[in-house]
Structure 1
């Protein structure tokens, strides 16, 4: 993911090459600190926009060795651009300030800067490849913030802008290839390496088409740098596929274009470490540290340090391993964002280092912390799976829309042909008219049957795809549960086992009664209880106990009570009419839908009170009402942009249910659901 940070830098250079567009009324921006307004500010004119662009470009070179000066220059350029209503300068400055904060690990601030510059970028770069680059550069801080809904939204907008575009200039080729590169690395982070490779190869072919064409001086180095990033990312994908030979080839190819590419240097070091060529691995990791310290690249510097610490551990140099990994933890304390997978590797390796030094107390502490990081990584993996399913849903919608258009075109062509045939029939004799009419009627029937078969085939294909997606989702859930049991509960039990092994040595002079009263024994008992709770929670996630024992009303009532204990919300549960037990599959589906709506209330509504009501207005009808006093939302906007609400509607429709949502901004939300109760057959 460090490659994305560098791609943001590419965006900033490209934003300075587009045509200048006069600004209109400006939206509000975030606050930032600047020196007093210079007296010369009043003398600025539109002719000074070139100087502002040069200042922004210069700040991008300063950031490599003096971050504070670069920030000051960029804020000053932003201040001047706002004074002149210079949209391109405002968008470029906000983008670069977002990049600077992302480079320092301040992901929340980075997102604010990108969002503040987005209206200006959409106005200044409307429909251009530079706007597509702006969208994909925003994905970097969103990735570290685990906001995959936003990533899905902006990647979709970027890909819409570049797909099928006629590329005429080198600058456009760089933009489009960079967009494909970022999308490819998104798929790489989701573990879909084949799809990642297809996007990266598309990026390479887009750029290679301009290899022999003459380029302006300012684009020559940028062209090489972009190719270096593409080959480095291809190497990272092959690392994920465990194909180290191909990865080594592309890392070497990347370094031919840019010898200071940190990801390629770190990847090469990791390959040497896997091959047990420790001297070469040590040399390349130290080279990566030097390069990332010179460029002040926090993310790649941390990756190099973690790899070097693991290498020292493998070399049994535990003192250096401990020092290197502790420096990583110290660096993370100074950053606003956390790279969860690397943090887990750091704690896990430290636990191994202390265990090797027989420091079991520290080994146990860091092992416990690594388990917490592992749990966070699993949550992130779930969000990534949701994001991947959202992309598949969007792709299916696009395919379905294309099929509808093709069908409409076929019907239109059929009508045109029919009209022409009628004109020929009118000009013919009555006998020929009768024969032609019979022939036309027969042909039209055949076409209708053919079209009906085509529609049926499309529907069957869509059903098969939906079934495949469901099966894949179930397999992923089974795999997740296996990892959770193996890497969570089993690690806890292993820790207890390690503590029990030390009992004869630590308490050999105590009798059983005294030992039972020791803190060490109580700690082992607590660890066993925690493992039992975790196992019970894992089983509860598969099928809630209350749902199995008491049915839907008891399960909903229990869930509301648990939410009230763990949140600041006041829940009111009401039940009218007697609700008997229903099919387990139906009860579970309704329960999950209620859960999702209540989670949305907690996450988005900012409410203080929530009402959940179950009733049975008719013998074969189940009615559910969920109401909150929160901030409400725009239903039409949510219907267009919200994948979550669409997914819920589709599930309810599949269950032959109906949904009615009433909400306005500032007036709370009420959701009413009705389902036909299936017969217990």
Structure 2
């Protein structure tokens, strides 16, 4: 029975637009109507404040606290704060005072004063922000832009309103958490609702509601939930609307500024679900809040809805009173369209009550107002037609002159076109010549760069090959020369100990010398193996890497896992040596710098392509903030020499991964098969590796 009133309510909201205002910019200032004790406390603080600056800030807090219930007294305190700030040359207080007056004007639907006060606030706060971009000035300028967007929105200038809202968002999105940003998102949603784009409107409202995780249950969330509830009511989704209303109800204890709008929306919910009794109660509560706040337009709408609801319930006396009050407020607002609707509702009521004269009187007033509106439209159309007629006369007088000028202009255009064609041809030839010269120069530069790179590559190749040859020679000399000599000395010392019974002292010295000699032989073998591992020469790359990982694991508290694939056939000795050195250098870097507990080494071969990955769970680093060290530069140089690339991925506290993609030359791929008994499958030196 009451459902037909719902579209009227939504249409009213699209015309009036809730003023989603910033009323709390001071740290700790309440954004809603405070209890009497809180207001009394602020009044006492205002009387006892030691300086004009402190009194101005306290007056602003008191104005904010009273805004929801008494806009007149709130305005008095805002003007007092403005006066005190002007006396004390307190720029922030002056700007905030004008902003508060702008917010109060918006509540009273005084758009002209709201816009003027907002501009004054911006004129004071803007230079202060450019001199010192403090957080509170950023918040204040965001609130000013939001209020100017409200004014433009109410005037129907939706493009300007959107521009102001986006300007407010630019100020506020740089803050860690801002309730005003929530308000701006809500206003953007309102703009799209008026533009008949409910999906985009809902997206901005949900984006505003998502800020609750950053701001907590702040008062500015209440109108957002109410707008979402209204959207669900428009779509005939009462369950979803009820959920949003419950979210809004949870905020009523900290925000009574929008209590009237809450109960008005609650009344629309009960009308949709066919419950007229609770609907009437909710609308009456909404009317009380609207009267205390001084929102005349919202009062007129609520009274109209109550009058129609009471008429449906048969209470014609109360219905007549409500509709007449709505008519009086609508006349004060000066909205002719809404006034026609109020007169029509009263005419229908009096007709149902049998008061034909009253019904006729209201009907005649409605028709007269419609005729006046239509007459205004007719006068505008007549003025437009007259302007068109005068323009047509002037056009006829100018037609002859234009025809004469047209012939001359045609000749001039033809001449200009020919000149433009000649100039375009000349420019095309010049551009083609310049491009050819630039292309030739670019090719010459590329050829020079390629020759330089080839020289560097050949030099690097010669140096690396020389290093490997020198390593082999030194390792062979140490093993065959110095190693054999030390073995002979050890044999002589052993023979001396076994032949003659020596005294205790010399025998002990001889035993110590033999032990030191064993250690020297072991160190010599380790050095020779590092220079050129025997397993690499004898058994191939897989076995050599297996021995290297075992040695690294045994040397310290580091678990190493090795995985190989596709190494059944031997590579060329030079290629095997290069890959071995790459793994050796990367493991050395892990041991020295990573502070890791475990490391994974993967080497996979697919034809001439090799992929090497070394991953650790160490401390990691930021590659962008710290340049690569000597070890990583050496790895990158060897990778480039092998025709590949090296990529380092690391983050502090999350380990490091080095990936190399290598392309072996044809002569490096054609190697001999592994000797019998050499490992050909995956070799693992630890239990399974677990990434961080």
Q: What interval of TM-score do these two structures reach, taking the shorter chain for normalisation?
A: 0.3 to 0.5
| Rg comparison, structure with higher value | 2
What is the TM-score with the length of structure 2 in the denominator?
Answer: 0.46
Q: TM-score, normalised by structure 1?
A: 0.47
